[in-house]
């Protein structure tokens, strides 16, 4: 694949809508972060992007908690929804909307979808007896209930045997269709292990699924009633899934549903997204999502996070990390070390410091400030030469002179015939990043950016521009060669910074300000959008490259090396009150 042939359809990425009862924690922040990184990367590519997150508010638990707290359910939901909004703003998420399921726009359309399914016979009334998991608000099949010893597979709580008259969605009708869609990849379930798991579970057969709950006496007025039957309420899961469509079911936004749709979540709620939701959509005559991506879990210092252990890494702790190490460092750590694949990931302080130092302080930040510093030291911060031969000097020739300076100093490199081809190297890194992005492999996308940084570091160690600098004025053309070498480094780092920017938008925008790169519409606003698509921005010595005469200032240290012995932030002992 090459930059030019990349997909240019509108891109629609979603996160689960989170239960409004929980306090925002690392899990919510993680899924929303990877959606943010993907959304930013797709905007950089030049695609129209819509990124949606929000809160799921009609659960029974919300009304119970509201009563305990002396509030109406809506007041309680609002207080908590605001906490999610604040947390996501703090994390720098660029979501285009935040949906609350208590909003009219959602309620009206969700209700209309259910009515359509009722009218056409896909939803019907019937008796239901089954094993209900109150902690997850879902019914389980007899097989699954038995396998889990009649306890919730998620929380371990006792299942309840419930008999209800309910409306049912005829999921059973769509078994063959679903298998075909998933096997063929028309609905792409990622990672691969999750696809196999879903197909395995499909083999056990599909039942009709309840889509309503009978309203009991004394129940608070909470949720959406079934169209035409006010004694029943739409089951909260079914209603919640509809958010992905209700929010974009408008004239201006429909193109996003018709474009590429990517639903992100953790493995806990894959079944709803990979099976129930596509079947509902298909029954409604709607297009189904292209990608269902279910990552694994964050655990904390080696232990599963749970309410009973009280060991959730909450937003305040992430804030404390961001205060000490910068928000972009937190975003980097979570994105590159998170449970994107099939395995869980551990949030351990020692690991955070290790990754911070290795990737950011010693590599990306160091390389960028080192090159900026050399351009300042040797050329007063001015780009004086490119490396395409246009100004009379080529990269190859520059390297020969650097080696001559090393030879003269008795420090010849082991392999004097090594070559460095920055143009093909950087464009391959960009292609690799795009290919990884199309698979939602954000770690590999960022690794492609880092590979350029490593190449630059290697080139600096090999060509030793500081040795060459000592010969300026004495060795013929030494100055031109030095300028050319530094240009190659800076231009390569500029391209790397574009690929790294989806994870670290603030730090990279700072670099572009320091180096006077016009990548953003407003250089002072990292959120102002790019002036051109990546294919143009990332072209080696292209229209957006560093230019002769451009000023590159030193700027502040991007990431200060972290002390591994300092205790984790947010865990400092509180001063005793006097
Ligand atoms: N309200 C439903 C989703 C409805 S979507 C139509 C729900 N909400 S939730 O608040 O429980 O959020 C679950 C999601 O939070 C997971 O799928 C995942 O995205 C995120 N995470 C919660 N805990 C997590 C970890 N420990 N690790 C990673 N992500 C996790 O389910």
104-160 confidence digits (pLDDT tens): 999 999 999 999 999 999 999 998 788 988 888 777 888 889 999 999 998 899 999
Q: How far apart are the first and last CA of the chain?
A: 66
Q: How far is the CA of 297 from the centre of ligand 1 (A)?
A: 9
Q: How far is the CA of 499 from the centre of ligand 1 (A)?
A: 28
What percentage of residues in the chain have a pLDDT greater than 90? 85
Binned at pLDDT 50, 70 and 90, residue 462 comes out as very high
Nearest CA to ligand 1 atom 19: 265
Pocket test for ligand 1, best of 13, 25, 31 (most atoms within 8 A of CB): 31
DSSP class per residue in 324-363: HH-HHHHHHHHHHHS--SSS-EEE-HHHHHHHIIIIIIII
Query: Which regions of 179-276 does DSSP assign to beta strands (E)?
Result: 188-190, 209-210, 212-214, 225-226, 229-234, 260-266
Instruction: Give every CB contact of residue 15 below 8 A, 6+ residues apart in sequence.
Output: 31, 32, 35, 52, 53, 264, 265
Instruction: Report the run of H or E that residue 139 belongs to, with start and end.
Output: strand 138-140
CA dihedral angle for residue 89, residue 93, residue 96, residue 102, rounded to 10 degrees: -50
Q: What average pLDDT is seen over the chain?
A: 94
What percentage of residues in the chain have a pLDDT greater than 70? 97
Q: How far is the CA of 264 from the centre of ligand 1 (A)?
A: 10
Locate tokens 């009219």: which residue?
104
152-189 confidence digits (pLDDT tens): 998 899 999 988 788 999 999 999 999 999 999 999 99
Q: Do the beta carbons of residue 227 and residue 116 sit within 8 Å?
A: no
Residue 544: per-residue pLDDT:
96
Q: Is 515 in the pocket of ligand 1 (CB under 6 A)?
A: no
Structure pTM? 0.94
Identify the burial level of 427 via C-beta atoms within 10 angstroms of its C-beta, where 0-12 means exposed, 13-18 middle and 19 or more buried: middle
Q: Is 100 in the pocket of ligand 1 (CB under 6 A)?
A: no
Residue 439, helix vs strand vs coil: coil
Residue 80, helix vs strand vs coil: helix
Q: Do the beta carbons of residue 313 and residue 348 sit within 8 Å?
A: no
Binned at pLDDT 50, 70 and 90, residue 1 comes out as very low
Write the DSSP symbol of residue 288.
P
Sheet (strand 160-169) strand order: 138-140, 123-133, 160-169, 209-210
Residue 398, helix vs strand vs coil: helix
Q: Is 305 in the pocket of ligand 1 (CB under 6 A)?
A: yes
Nearest CA to ligand 1 atom 22: 27
Euclidean distance between CA atoms 425 and 538, whole angstroms? 12
Q: How far is CA 416 from CA 84, 419, 420, 459, 462, in A?
A: 57, 9, 12, 12, 9
Q: How far is the CA of 28 from the centre of ligand 1 (A)?
A: 6
């Amino acid at each position: 694949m090459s930059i030019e042939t990349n997909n240019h359809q509108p891109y629609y990425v979603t996160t689960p809508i989170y239960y409004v009862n929980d306090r925002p924690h690392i899990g919510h922040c993680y899924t929303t972060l990877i959606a943010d990184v993907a959304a930013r990367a797709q905007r950089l590519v030049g695609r129209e992007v819509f990124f949606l997150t929000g809160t799921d508010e009609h659960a029974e638990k919300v009304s119970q908690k509201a009563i305990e707290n002396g509030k109406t359910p809506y007041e309680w939901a609002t207080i908590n929804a605001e906490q999610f909004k604040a947390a996501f703003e703090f994390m720098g998420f660029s979501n285009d909307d935040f949906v609350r399921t208590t909003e009219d726009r959602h309620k009206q359309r969700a209700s209309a979808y259910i009515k359509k399914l009722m009218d056409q016979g896909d939803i019907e009334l019937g008796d239901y007896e089954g094993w209900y998991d109150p902690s997850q608000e879902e019914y389980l099949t007899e097989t699954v209930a038995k396998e889990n010893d009649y306890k919730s597979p998620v929380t371990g709580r006792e299942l309840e045997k419930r008999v209800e008259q309910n409306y049912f969605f005829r999921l059973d009708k769509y078994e063959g269709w679903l298998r075909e869609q998933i096997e063929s990849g028309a609905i792409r379930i990622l990672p691969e292990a999750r696809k196999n798991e879903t197909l395995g579970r499909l083999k056990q057969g599909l039942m009709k699924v309840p889509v309503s709950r009978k309203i009991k006496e004394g129940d608070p007025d909470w949720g959406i009633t079934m169209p035409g039957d006010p004694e029943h309420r739409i089951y909260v899961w079914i209603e919640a899934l509809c958010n992905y469509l209700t929010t974009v079911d408008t004239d201006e936004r429909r193109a996003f549903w018709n474009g590429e749709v990517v639903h992100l979540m953790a493995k806990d709620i894959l079944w709803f997204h990979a099976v129930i939701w596509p079947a509902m959509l298909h029954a409604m005559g709607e297009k189904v999502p292209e990608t269902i991506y279910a990552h694994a879990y964050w655990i904390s210092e080696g232990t599963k996070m749970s309410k009973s252990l009280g060991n959730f890494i909450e937003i305040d702790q992430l804030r404390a990390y961001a205060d000490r190490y910068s928000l972009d460092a937190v975003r980097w750590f979570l994105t590159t070390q998170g449970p994107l694949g099939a395995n869980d990931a551990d949030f351990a302080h020692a690991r955070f410091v290790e990754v911070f130092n290795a990737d950011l302080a010693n590599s990306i930040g160091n390389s960028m400030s080192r090159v900026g510093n050399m351009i300042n030291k040797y050329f007063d911060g001015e780009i004086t030469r490119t490396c395409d031969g246009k100004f009379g000097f080529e990269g190859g020739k520059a390297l020969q002179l650097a080696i001559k300076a090393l030879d003269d100093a008795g420090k010849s490199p082991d392999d004097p015939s090594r070559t460095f081809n920055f143009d093909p190297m950087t464009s391959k890194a960009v292609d690799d990043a795009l290919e990884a992005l199309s698979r939602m492999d954000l770690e590999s996308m960022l690794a492609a950016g880092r590979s350029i940084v490593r190449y630059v570091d290697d080139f600096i160690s090999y060509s030793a521009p500081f040795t060459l600098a000592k010969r300026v004025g004495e060795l013929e053309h030494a100055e031109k060669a030095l300028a050319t070498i530094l240009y190659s480094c800076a231009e390569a780092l500029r391209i790397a910074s574009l690929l790294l920017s989806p994870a670290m938008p603030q730090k990279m925008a700072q670099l572009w300000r320091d180096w006077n790169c016009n990548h953003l519409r407003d250089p002072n606003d990292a959120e102002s959008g790019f002036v051109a698509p990546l294919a143009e921005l990332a072209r080696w010595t292209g229209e957006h490259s560093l230019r002769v005469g451009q000023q590159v200032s030193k700027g502040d240290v991007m990431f200060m090396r972290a002390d591994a012995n300092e205790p984790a932030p947010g865990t400092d002992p509180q001063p005793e009150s006097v």
